Amino acid sequence: MILSKPDLLRYLSEGRLKIDPPVSPDEVAQVSIDLGLGRKFTTFKQPPDYLPAIHVDPSLWTSADLWHHFEQDVFRLYPGQFVLAQTLERILMPPDLVGFVEGRSSWARLGITIHVTAPKIDPGFDAPITLEMANFGRIPVDLRAGIDHPAQLMLQKISTPLEETALYGTGRSSSFQNQTDPIPHRRTEET
């Protein structure tokens, strides 16, 4: 069951769903919460000639040779470019809800995707949400931190609330818990 505006407002007012900084009631729509864009952006560096490919493993996040990190008010996203960004808000998911981050249609109509994949926000997640943004349009788009609201969070009740020990952040695969940047800078328990 997807939560509607009255349920979303109740979860927020009761403190069961924590969002920091708090969202205003105007940012709560019929079945979603609008999320702002933060100031942190991460892009791939131009790969060195000796690097024919990369592997998806924990070393990917710690390789200084792969990533450019920016903290700024405006990031210009050019056609064909990909950037990792973050929501302005830190989200703490309660044990009885799962979230889904989705792009807003006004952004899609410009050719901007907000998440390439992985829209699920697990119960217990506690961090800003990383946005996987790409420009499939034909014109550059300025991403304005603190002004733009490119994403929305939809929330759904799960069949049985999770026990504290089963929440995201308590297991070995919770590498994005408490992240402060679009990619984690700390080593995970898996490494």
| 83 close to 75: Cβ distance less than 8 angstroms | yes
Structure confidence by residue, pLDDT tens digits, 33-59: 999 999 999 998 887 777 788 888 877
Ramachandran angles phi, psi of 60, nearest 5°? -55, -40
Q: Give me the residues paired with residue 87 across strands.
A: 37
- Please indicate, yes or no, if residue 52 is contained in any of the structural domains: no
- Please indicate, yes or no, if residue 159 is contained in any of the structural domains: yes
Structure confidence by residue, pLDDT tens digits, 105-160: 999 999 999 988 889 999 999 999 999 999 999 999 999 999 999 999 999 999 99
- Please indicate, yes or no, if residue 86 is contained in any of the structural domains: yes
> Could you say which of 14, 89, 132, 190 is catalytic?
132
Could you write out the DSSP letters of every residue in the chain?
-B--HHHHHHHHHTTSSEEESPPPGGGB-SS-EEE-EEEEEEEEPPPPTT------STHHHH-TTTEEEEE-SEEEE-TT-EEEEEEEEEEE--TTEEEEEEE-HHHHTTTEES-SS--EE-TT-EEEEEEEEEE-SSS-EEEETTT---EEEEEEE-SSPPPGGGSTTSSTT-TTTT--SSS--SPPTT-
Is 132 marked active-site?
A: yes
Residue 76 clears pLDDT 50, i.e. is over it: yes
Residue partners of 183: CB distance under 8 A and separation at least 6: 42, 61, 67, 84, 130
Domains in the chain, number = 1
Q: What pLDDT does 144 receive?
A: 98
- Per the structure, the complete domain to which residue 134 belongs is given by 5-46+58-166
- Please indicate, yes or no, if residue 128 is contained in any of the structural domains: yes
- Please indicate, yes or no, if residue 191 is contained in any of the structural domains: no
Q: What pLDDT does 191 receive?
A: 34
Q: How far apart are CA 14 and CA 32, in angstroms?
A: 17
- Please indicate, yes or no, if residue 30 is contained in any of the structural domains: yes
Record the pTM.
0.88
Residue 11 clears pLDDT 60, i.e. is over it: yes
Residue 188 clears pLDDT 50, i.e. is over it: no
- Please indicate, yes or no, if residue 183 is contained in any of the structural domains: no
Residue 27 clears pLDDT 90, i.e. is over it: yes
The CA-atom distances, in angstroms, between 60 and each of 34, 65, 75, 124, 184 are 31, 10, 23, 25, 10
- Please indicate, yes or no, if residue 53 is contained in any of the structural domains: no
Residue 16 clears pLDDT 80, i.e. is over it: yes
Q: What is the CATH number of the domain that holds 27?
A: 2.70.40.10
Q: Which carries the bigger pLDDT value, residue 165 or residue 181?
A: 165
What's the angle, vertex CA 8, arms to CA 114 and CA 147, rounded to 5? 40
Q: What pLDDT does 39 receive?
A: 98
